[in-house]
Amino acid sequence: MHPWEGERLAREIGFRTQTALARLEELAGTGPGGSRFDCVVVGAGPAGSTAAYFLARAGLKVALLEQGPFPGAKNVGGGALYTQMMAPLFPGFWREAPLEGAIVNQEYHLLTEDGAVTLGVKNARFARPPYNRFSVLKARFDPWLARQAQRAGALVLVNHKADSLLMEGGRVTGVLVGRPYAREFRAPVTILAEGAGAILASKAGLIPKPKKENMSLYVKEVLALPPETIRERFGLRPGQAAVIGLFGHSTAYLTGTAAIYTCRDCIGINAGSILNRMAQARLNPIAFLERIKAHPFVRPLIAGARPMEFMARLIPDGGYPAIPKLHHAGVLIAGDTAGLVNGTHGINNAAVSGRFAAEAVLAAHRKGDFGAEALALYRELLEGSFVMTDLRAHAGVPRFYERHPDVMDVYPKLANELAYQLAMVYPMPKREKRRLLWREALAVRPWPRLLGDIVDTIRVVR
């Protein structure tokens, strides 16, 4: 999608800075104490917009501050939106939201330089209610989500970058927006959904600065193709989408993932790895995408595509052990800022965390207590939900990769070699061929290490 299209969408749905500023004067006023609200939300991504929506719907005065020219401007590409997580928040959202297609083709490829072992499922039932998941582009979806907050009564202000938190007596009392507006936004409680960088939260000492070993750097590119070409190459019908997870060669055999996903009129490609591993390997992040695009089984899928967007971004990848304290006096931390990312659950976990943050703020307003103890309800709600349950269940994954740094190197190669030998036709008995396969496997991974890998994997995924 061209950058101007996101701006056009923003104008169409009403994120006009001057109009919003006029409403700011009417809604909250200005003066020596700044503009006053019941809650200030920083970041109009899935977490921030969802929180603002539920707060405004309950009648609170809410300011939703976005540093970009429109919600989603700081994101490239998109991802998967899971119906069963989003439907309780926005019932029937698929009838109105700008979705790219219902994902009916889900595949995983273990890649080597010239091979691929594929596991996947295709089912037309995924394209019918209750659906499973949808492909989305953030620059199309995020403006729509922020619009829901705006319709509910929240004041959405774009081009408003929060420079610092306002503090009084160890309590957060709002945020300071820098130039050209240079305005204070005061509220008894603030929700930080500023993204993985967590600049405001770490600057204020609320959470530690993100560590390189707990962050992944992903590069993303969007390639334009005619809708009919996309459908033909991926075997899709109108309104359908595909997603392909890539492992091994696509991430230079480092710990990480890559993916290809289809949208209505473009294909998204992303790839990334743990930040410190990339630094140790002295690997240029752009090389990830070039490896994918040059692969013999990927190149035909994107032939003739025209580059539209390109960007790199950080994603929290430390899992449950790396989640910081999320509630402090006068402030809650949500979405990627809170590290609530678990594999494919990024957008969904963020939106759910926004909902829980809103519930905790509403409870605090009812009590008139915005201390850390009162806002602890937020963490309790998260801990009782699938968000934390899933993160806890996979808490051992980062340590597993630390103990097995070569897992993305060894097993894609092993799977491809075994698949190749299995498919080859030799003039030998089947029993002899089974022995051949076993010898090939042990040549790559001696049986004690193979057994140890299996045991460690079972401990992580149980």
Round the CA-based radius of gyration of the chain to a whole number and report it.
24
| CA nearest neighbour of 65 among 148, 176, 160, 140 | 160
Outline where DSSP puts E strands in 22-128. 35-36, 39-42, 62-65, 78-82, 101-111, 116-122
User: Which residues have CB under 8 Å from 149's CB, separation 6+?
Assistant: 44, 49, 50, 52, 53, 56, 62, 64, 156
Give the whole-angstrom CA distance, residue 231 versus residue 53: 35
Average the pLDDT over each of 38-42, 46-50, 289-293 and give the range with the smallest value.
289-293
- Where does the pLDDT of residue 342 fall: very low under 50, low under 70, confident under 90, or very high at 90 and above? confident
| CA nearest neighbour of 121 among 102, 106, 133 | 106
Average the pLDDT over each of 24-28, 153-157, 407-411, 456-460 and give the range with the smallest value.
24-28
Write down how long the chain is: 462
Give the whole-angstrom CA distance, residue 385 versus residue 397: 20
| Residue 162, beta-bridge partner list | 177
What is the mean pLDDT of the segment spanning 430-446? 86
Q: What is the per-residue pLDDT for 3?
A: 44
Return contacts of 443-448, CB within 8 angstroms, 24+ apart.
444/410, 444/413, 444/414, 444/417, 445/410, 445/414
Q: Mean pLDDT score of the chain, rounded to an integer?
A: 89
Structural contact between residues 395 and 417, judged by C-beta atoms closer than 8 angstroms = no
The greatest distance separating any two alpha carbons of the chain, rounded to the nearest whole angstrom, comes to 88
pLDDT per position as a tens digit, 207-218:
998 888 888 888
Residue 267, SS3 per DSSP: strand
pTM score: 0.91
- The percent of residues in the chain predicted with pLDDT above 90, rounded, is 58
Average the pLDDT over each of 164-173, 234-243, 251-260, 314-323 and give the range with the smallest value.
251-260
Residue 183, SS3 per DSSP: strand
